[in-house]
Structure 1
Amino acid sequence: MKAPDSLFRRLLLWLLLPLLALGALMLVQAYLDARRTADRAFDRLLEASSQAIAEQVQWQDERLWLDLPPAALEMLATDAEERVFYALYDDDGEFITGNARLPGDPRSDDISGEAMYYDDVQWQDLALRQGVRRTRLEDWRQREGFEVRVAHTREGRERLTWRLFLGNMAYIGAMAVLAIAVLLLAVRSALRPLTRLRRAIRRRDPRTLAPLELPLPRELAELRETLNELLARMRRVRANQERFIGDASHQLRTPLAGLSARAELALRQDNPEVWRAALQAMQTTSASTARLAVQLLSLTRLNNPEATPELSALDLNDIARQAVRNAWNRCHRDGIDIGVDVCDSPVTIDGIDWQLEEALSNLIDNAGRYGATHITVRVNATPPELVVEDNGPGIPAEQRLLVLRPFHRGEESGDGSGLGLAIVDGIARTHGARLRLDDARHESGLCVTLRFPAPTPTETKQ
């Protein structure tokens, strides 16, 4: 099984990715800034060199003449040992002098006044940075225009660029290390309340369902309150289970004690008639106890959501007919008139067949045990309903909610266990149905109705 991903790792990853992306952008920007700074510095040298050369240009023998001082080019030479080139061109673009025939200014010729132009050029497989200055002689007798072109290789620029970039990168690296350290501490600090919550839950006694009392941030406080709500529901469930177990043990202990007492009394007698009466009483008690055990198992299974199968399409007419067939022999033996009233067309719902049959069986059995002589099982189509109506003593309106509790019996004189209606109520809730207890329509008695949710149009067509 693959290990679950760590929340700490996930937070760190999602916070580090933008931080790393920002760091990469900062490095790119630092390199571009370093290159621009180096270009500006060396361009100033190009400008100074071209200015020094332009100041030495003179008009002599009816032509331009240049006596280049060594300092004009030495200012471009650095410890990177760049190669330096220069050229002088007249106003017609004719080469006058220089150590290289450098390309000129691509701008239009109508540009007037002194101007400086910089460009990166390729000359004889060399990458050069060139500066072109357009100017004129300062002699009042002669205003001849000319161009001074100065260029050098990029070794010094690149060295200065990397020196500046490495200096910036050291600062960025230090900031990144500090940011990552702060980020690690922040994430650990943010997750520390979650660690406290986990440890508090782990240290708890599994038998206690007391609410958690732990100061937490707002987001985790909501989780704590959700856990406390779950614990409260579990307390209610455990209380109901303990009450159910106590009632069940009491209900089972009474008939078992009666069986033991009757058997002991019968063993003290020598009369076969007494033995027969004791055996008949023991048979009745054991049958009642067996039915009680079956009802307890049914109620336990209804209260276990993991044991509930999926709902499937059912016809309520078939459910009603089957329940009446199953109860026919018992009712006929006890002198009870039982009938079924179904619809002409199928009444389809989503349900569990054995649960609905058991609900009808419990309703029929309850009616018979409490004195009913006529029982009718009816199916209504709109809305879908299962109805069991009898002519027994009925249940007073003020007790109809109480009888839905396990082991509560409406009439103490009856021999029921008080589980029948509780099981029917559980089955109704499983099916999303509404259980209603009313007076019988035609005579005294009880009318129990299971009203199911109306099917959707798609389900109706099917």
Structure 2
Amino acid sequence: MSHLSLYRRLTIWLLFPLVLLVAIMLLQAWFASREAADRAFDRLLDAASLSIAEQVRWQQSRLWMDLPPSALEMLATDAEERVFYALYDAQGRFVTGNRSLPSLPARDGNRMSYGDVISGDMPVRLGVLRARLEGWDRSDRFEVRVAQTREGREALANQLFLASLINIVIIAGLAMVVVLLSARFALEPLTRLRRAIRQRNPRTLAPLELALPRELAELRQALNELLARMRRVRANQERFIGDASHQLRTPLAGLSARAELAMRQSDPDAWREALATMHGTATHTARLAGQLLSLTRLNNPEATPAKQAVDLAALAQRCVRAAFSRHHRQGIDLGVEIPEQAVVVLGNDWQLEEALNNLIDNASLYGASQITVQVTDAPPRLVVRDDGPGIPEPQRLLMLRPFHRGQQTGDGSGLGLAIVDSIARAHDIRLSLQAARPGDPERPGLSIALTFPVNA
């Protein structure tokens, strides 16, 4: 039923019990009509048997009766049933009648017994009356057996059932109309909610203001909470785009101004100085653009691949090896400390490598002369320590925001730790920042630890 609409599902669940109830009512009406027909014709059998029993007499030392025509005429109907009767004495011997008929077990406290039997290959309804012939010199028991074919009973039962069927069908039809209309009216608030959502401007994220029942009011509240989150996301995106454009516009304007100034010079040394400055600015801008792309990619959950097993020791060695030459030329001591065994965690290889590269570059850009990458096994942890000026404790959480820089002396863009924080949250990693050398007030350094979940 997953492909059906909510209206059709509701009508099916409401109509199914109704149809089942109608079927039960029809079955009950069928049996009730048969019972009523049997009860009515059994009364006629009772009356006919009593009329016959009143005519039983002694004649020539034996039972005899003069059957009145009215005794059997009362059993005649338009269905033209066949009627049979018989008189039996106390020993069960046939005395008289138009057909021999079987007997029936006696019922407690009742002179009359009824049953459906087969007589001469015909199904008949049999009534047996047990009576006593009283005289001044003797008292004998006898049985009057009267049988009738079932045509009249069936006709009456069908007539009664047809009347019940018409009533039940009319009531069921009205009930179905009420169910369909009720389902339509019950879902009308949902229709209004759907129309309100469709008629909204795609660019607006204002909350929905619509009077709804309690169940749909909860859905409206959930939609409003989603819209509120989307407003915050859009505000963050707009702020990020504004900051990014400002961060990119400044170095690009500097490049343009520096190039224009160099074009006015004729001294080759001035050109070389301008080219060196432009090269540094272009390198910084390229790194900023790369970090912006990385941050955008991290904020897109659909572009995140499935997590796989990653060896932190091999990852640390690979990143340090790739960055060693560049940092060595800058006079920075870059080293790595890893355990002998592999330290395997679940994660995205390129994201973890991006996080480690940003931590190493951040440390070098903000005045560190010694950087150590350390991998531990219990628990799995990736630590980057440096001997730079560090970050004051009140500013450490602020450093996780994009474009926030704790100091203006470095060449960083303020995106490195924001990227690391995004990657940490995507991997359920605990990110902690603390001083690497608390005893040195001038250069306390910074130790950034990424602690992975133990079950990863």
Q: Give the TM interval when normalised to the shorter protein.
A: over 0.9
CA distance in 2, matches of 1:328, 1:202: 57
Q: CA deviation at 1:21?
A: 1.0
Asked whether 1:432 is paired with 2:428, we answer yes
* Aligned counterparts of 1:396 and 1:64: Cα–Cα separation in 2: 129
Farther-moved stretch of structure 1 (338-347 vs 64-73): 338-347
Amino acid at match of 2:11: L
1:306 corresponds to: 302
Paired amino acid for 1:58? R
The alpha-carbon deviation at position 280 of structure 1 amounts to 1.1
Q: Which range moves more in the overlay, 2-11 or 48-57?
A: 2-11
Q: Which residue of 1 aligns with 2:24?
A: 25
Q: Tell me the residue number matched to 1:158.
A: 154
Q: What is aligned with 1:142?
A: 138
1:9 matches 2:5: no
Q: Deviations over 1:390-425 (max 9, x none)?
A: 000000001001111000111111111000110111
The one-letter amino acid of 1:445's match is G
Q: How does 1:107-256 map to 2 (within 5 A)?
A: 107=106, 115-256=111-252
Q: Does 1:358 align with 2:354?
A: yes
SS at match of 2:139: coil
Structure 2: tracts of 5 or more residues without a match = none
1:303-353 deviation per Cα after TM superposition (whole angstroms, max 9, x unaligned): 111111111111111111111111101110100011111112221110111
Within a 5 Å distance, the mapping from 1:302-381 to structure 2 comes to: 302-381=298-377
Write the distance in 2 (CA, Å) between the matches of 1:113 and 1:340. 108
Equivalent residue, structure 2, for 1:393: 389
Residues 343-352 or 420-429, more deviating: 343-352
Q: What is the identity, as a one-letter code, of the residue corresponding to 1:176?
A: A
For residues 445 and 188 of structure 2, what CA distance do their matches in structure 1 show?
65
What is the deviation of 1:114? 6.7
* Percent of pairs with identical residues: 65
Q: Is the 8 A contact 2:403 2:415 kept in 1?
A: yes
What aligned pairs does 1:48-87 form with structure 2 within 5 A after superposition? 48-87=47-86
Query: How far has the Cα of 1:112 moved from its partner?
Result: 9.5
SS at match of 1:437: strand
User: Counterpart of 2:452?
Assistant: 452
Structure 2 CA distance for aligned equivalents of residues 166 and 68 of structure 1: 37
Counterpart contact for 1:114–1:135, Cα < 8 Å = no
More displaced stretch, 332-341 vs 4-13: 4-13
TM-score, with structure 1 as normaliser: 0.96
SS in structure 2 of the partner of residue 168 of structure 1: helix
Q: 1:114 to 1:315 in 2, by over 3 A?
A: closer
Q: Does the 8 Å contact 1:82/1:154 carry over to 2?
A: yes
Q: Compared with structure 1, are the counterparts of its residues 409 and 114 closer, same or farther at alpha carbon in structure 2 (3 Å cutoff)?
A: closer
Deviation at 1:354, TM superposition (A): 1.5
1:93-132 deviation digits (Å, cap 9, x = unpaired): 111111111112244xxx8987111010111111100100
Distance 1:311 1:318 in 2: 17
Count of residue correspondences: 452
Greater shift, 271-280 or 65-74, is seen at 271-280
Contact 1:113 1:135 in 2 (8 A): no
Q: Residue by residue, what CA displacement relative to the aligned partner does 1:262-295 show, whole Å, maximum 9, x if unpaired?
A: 1111111111211111111111111110000000
Tell me the CA shift for residue 375 of structure 1: 0.5
| C-alpha distance in structure 2 between counterparts of 1:271 and 1:106, whole Å | 137
Amino acid at match of 2:374: R
Describe the SS at the equivalent of 2:134. coil
1:144 is paired with a residue whose SS is strand
TM-score by length of 2: 0.97
Pairwise CA RMSD: 1.5
| Unpaired runs of at least 5, structure 1 | 457-462
Task: Give the aligned residue type for 1:123.
Answer: S
Please tell me the residue identity of whatever aligns with 2:30: Y
**Per-residue CA distance 1:131-162 (angstroms, 9 max, x = gap):** 00111113333311111000110011011101
Displacement of 1:455 in angstroms is 2.5
Q: 1:170 to 1:112 in 2, by over 3 A?
A: closer
Match of 1:259 in 2: 255
Asked if the contact 2:345/2:452 (under 8 Å) is kept, the reply is yes
CA contact (8 A) 1:34 1:162 kept: yes
Q: Residue 114 of structure 1 contacts residue 133 of structure 1 at CA under 8 Å; is this kept in 2?
A: no
Question: 2 CA distance for matches of 1:82 and 1:34?
Answer: 19
